[in-house]
Amino acid sequence: MVKRVVTGNYAAAHGAKISRAEFVAAYPITPQTFIVEHISEFVNDGEMDCDFVRMESEHSAMSAMVSAAATGVRTFTATASQGLALMHEILFIGAAIRLPLVMPVVNRTVAAPIGIWAEYNDTMPQRDTGWMQVYVEDNQEVLDMVLQAYRIAENRDVLLPMMVNLDAFILSHTVEPVDLYGYEEADKFLPKYEPHVHLLPEDPMAIGTFTPPEYIQELRYQTDAAMEASKKVIGEVNKEFADLFGRDYGGLIEEYRTDDAEVVLVTLGTVTSTARKVVDDLREEGKAVGLVKLRFFRPYPTDELRAIADRVKAVGIYDRSIAFNNGGPSFIEAKSALYGYTIPIVNFLAGIGGRDVFYSDVKLMFETLLEAASKGEAEKDVIWMSTRGVDA
């Protein structure tokens, strides 16, 4: 292992390399392009042995991923924003025929208007395609979750694809110290992929063919059951990773100073780092606040969130995306998970379109939650933070 100062994009590419991905479908899109460019350099320099194929679109890239994975090889690609939207049709196929694909997505604004900065309105619309989704906080977690993603996705009880989501530019182009494992270290954690079923010329079979209504509902049930089963596998893989590499991410969620908290804020992605600092400072002022880092959006940690809600007086949900007319997707999911609870649940929309989320913004979120907890109700369920033309 060596420690280097690298971007999140480099960390993702290095993760693909040491995971021994055998097929890489490459198509550029800002701010993901450097991921596949780094892999092309690895291949050119003889550091990575894989079939590196330049595709003509993201739709083609995901189609090639599905085809390659169906032959029993470990696959990798990466995308962002409009590219993920173009893949939408094929995402369903990869999940439905139970292929353990792994794909970092650099979260970016979806047009219109055109933008290249961090926003989750690219991945959130894909939450019901059957793909697992994890949102990471820093560049080390980018690398670590590429490794873990293969272990989770390839588990026989799961066999579902996974997106590893990282914030555009905040992680993709910003450098941080990262422990870069070598092949030997990665091999101890991630063994060679042994496919359960795969296409062979000498033993032909049909995969994903036309299916009548008598069977499709059962297939959807099986995909749902696999998503539910992935919760246990995620916890097991997280523990194995922590035992081997010394970093414990908590599994589905990571709790920070929640044991005696009166209010908690649920965050995704890089805002979590700012929220930790706010929690520490408010604790010094004697305010009982805590943080829940929502790592996995699919599968969703319903039981874990309910256990936290059992002991707090208010819950805040941060969203970097919007489900129009109903708050943010994370807020909608949390309300469903906490159905029947009478504590205030407040949605904070911030950072949409890549706008900075400042320390003062997060502090105001906690202050709003503390006020709601003291009154037993919130003045507003959905709050657009620092938004022109909107009363806070």
Domain ranges in the chain are 2-245, 253-384
CATH architecture of the domain with residue range 2-245 = 3-Layer(aba) Sandwich (3.40)
Output the pLDDT for position 230: 98
| End-to-end alpha carbon distance in the chain | 48
Answer yes or no: CATH 3.40.50.920 is held by domain 253-384: yes
In whole angstroms, give the CA distance from residue 99 to residue 372.
45
- Give the CA angle between residues 305, 365, 269 to the nearest 5°: 60
In this predicted structure, the answer to whether residue 392 has a pLDDT above a threshold of 60 is no
Contact criterion met (CB below 8 Å) for 61 and 87:
yes
| pLDDT tens by residue, 97-120 | 999 999 999 999 999 999 999 999
Residue found under tokens 């999911």: 333
pLDDT in tens, 156-209: 999 999 999 999 999 999 999 999 999 999 999 999 999 988 888 888 888 888
> How far is the C-alpha of 304 from the C-alpha of 306, rounded, in Å?
5
Q: What is the pLDDT of residues 327-381, one digit of tens each?
A: 999 999 999 999 999 999 999 999 999 999 999 999 999 999 999 999 999 999 9
Q: What is the mean pLDDT of residues 17-37?
A: 98
Which pTM value belongs to this model?
A: 0.96
Query: Is residue 57 scored above 80 in pLDDT?
Result: yes
**Cα–Cα distance between 348 and 321 in angstroms, integer?**
10
Q: Residue 53: enclosing H or E segment and its boundaries?
A: strand 51-54
- Whether 292 contacts 267, CB under 8 Å: yes
From 7, 3, 67, select the one nearest 32 (Cα to Cα).
Answer: 7
Say whether 253-384 and 2-245 share the same fold: yes
Say how far apart CA 44 and CA 37 lie, in whole Å.
10
